[in-house]
Amino acid sequence: MKLDTHVHTHHSGDATVFPFNHFMRESYNTPESVYATARRRGMDLIVVTDHDQISGALALGNGPDVLVGCEVTAEFTDLDLCVHLNVIDITPSQHAEIQRLRVDIRELLPYLRYQGIYTSLNHVASGINGPLTGAHVAAILPWVDALEVINGTRLPQQNRTALCVAQAAGKHMIAGSDSHTGRGIGRTWTEVPGARTREEFLSGLRAGRAVPGGQHGGRATMISDFTRFAGNFWLEAIANTASKPGHWRGYAQTFGGILGLPVVPLVMAGAFMHFVHEQRFNRDLLYELVARPERTLAAVPGLAA
């Protein structure tokens, strides 16, 4: 059985990157479109992992092929730093407690361990979370079950770093598309060979029998996603104008979209520069992990397992 373990919908809220956070969504996928696309592309199980929300996952009901998941923004108190943790097969009450605790990763990780919640560290070699160092990674590793070793939006070398860390630490290896548009849904996945039911899949996942597979990301996929974001933004503007012709928001979106057309080439250039930064971050993290192994979890008090 296959599962794309990392997918977003519009329930993830507003975009997190400035200045897009003022007028664009983090995703324009609907839970229903994620379900239909993933099934069409060969996924046997479906999970929605929105940022700090489970409303998108709950919208799909409690069918035998649906799991409730979340991508949790776990923060290091007093540091401009967070990590993204995927939690799979959680209840609403667990989600509420996770959201209460996530502002301090030192409190969150023990709770996840105590509850037996399957937890993975997502896109570890990406700089989008802040100045993550080898010491932070070393401190987190004892507390998580798995690392996301194929992320469908990250460069192959970043995913290779995650793979090497997982192998060195003896962690499970999973994969997910991290799709914020429809492009990547179900094109990166985690498979548990021989599983025939939801319960057998989860049992195999916890036993470490999962096999990651599918596509990596890169500049071309990011440019494709940016194009889809722009198209979805304009479609939403048109729909808002048509459904509420007397409201200013739809007209403002449409007018803003037209004014923003000349900026599109700059956005494409930004995609290139983003991955230049990602390559450098990946290189620096490798240096921390390999060339300076003496920097361990002692640098992050309170996370000793």
Return d(Cα 214, Cα 224) in angstroms, integer: 18
Instruction: Please tell me the predicted confidence (pLDDT) of residue 8.
Output: 97
SS3 category, 175: strand
The predicted model gives 66-89 an average pLDDT of 94
Between 24 and 296, name the one with better pLDDT.
Answer: 24
Cα 69–Cα 74–Cα 75 angle in degrees, nearest 5: 165
Return d(Cα 34, Cα 9) in angstroms, integer: 8
The candidate with the shortest Cα–Cα distance to 56, out of 44, 65, 68, is: 68
pLDDT of residue 108 exceeding 90: yes
The predicted model gives 274-286 an average pLDDT of 86
pLDDT of residue 295 exceeding 60: no
pLDDT of residue 296 exceeding 50: no
In order of their start, the domains of the chain are: 2-219+278-299 (3.20.20.140)
- For 92-107, write each residue's pLDDT tens digit: 999 999 999 999 999 9
Question: In the beta sheet, which residues pair with residue 179?
Answer: 7
The predicted model gives 119-140 an average pLDDT of 91
- For 236-246, write each residue's pLDDT tens digit: 666 666 677 76
| Exposure of 7 in the CB half-sphere (CA atoms within 13 A) | 34
Amino acid identity of residue 168, one-letter, is A
Return d(Cα 234, Cα 249) in angstroms, integer: 12
Q: What is the model's pTM?
A: 0.85
52-56, 134-138, 232-236, 296-300: least confident range: 296-300
Contact present, 77 and 130 (Cβ < 8 Å): no
Instruction: Please tell me the predicted confidence (pLDDT) of residue 80.
Output: 81
189-193, 198-202, 277-281: least confident range: 277-281
Between 134 and 255, name the one with better pLDDT.
Answer: 134
Give me the residue label for tokens 């990602």.
Answer: 278
Question: In the beta sheet, which residues pair with residue 54?
Answer: none
Give me the residue label for tokens 């700089």.
Answer: 127
The candidate with the shortest Cα–Cα distance to 46, out of 72, 71, 68, is: 68
Mean pLDDT of the chain: 86
Between 75 and 24, name the one with better pLDDT.
Answer: 75
The candidate with the shortest Cα–Cα distance to 149, out of 203, 211, 67, 106, is: 211
The candidate with the shortest Cα–Cα distance to 187, out of 148, 217, 149, is: 217
Instruction: Please tell me the predicted confidence (pLDDT) of residue 260.
Output: 54
* Local confidence band at 128 (pLDDT 50, 70, 90 cut-offs): confident
The candidate with the shortest Cα–Cα distance to 299, out of 137, 184, 154, is: 137
For the chain, percent of residues with pLDDT exceeding 90: 60
Between 220 and 149, name the one with better pLDDT.
Answer: 149
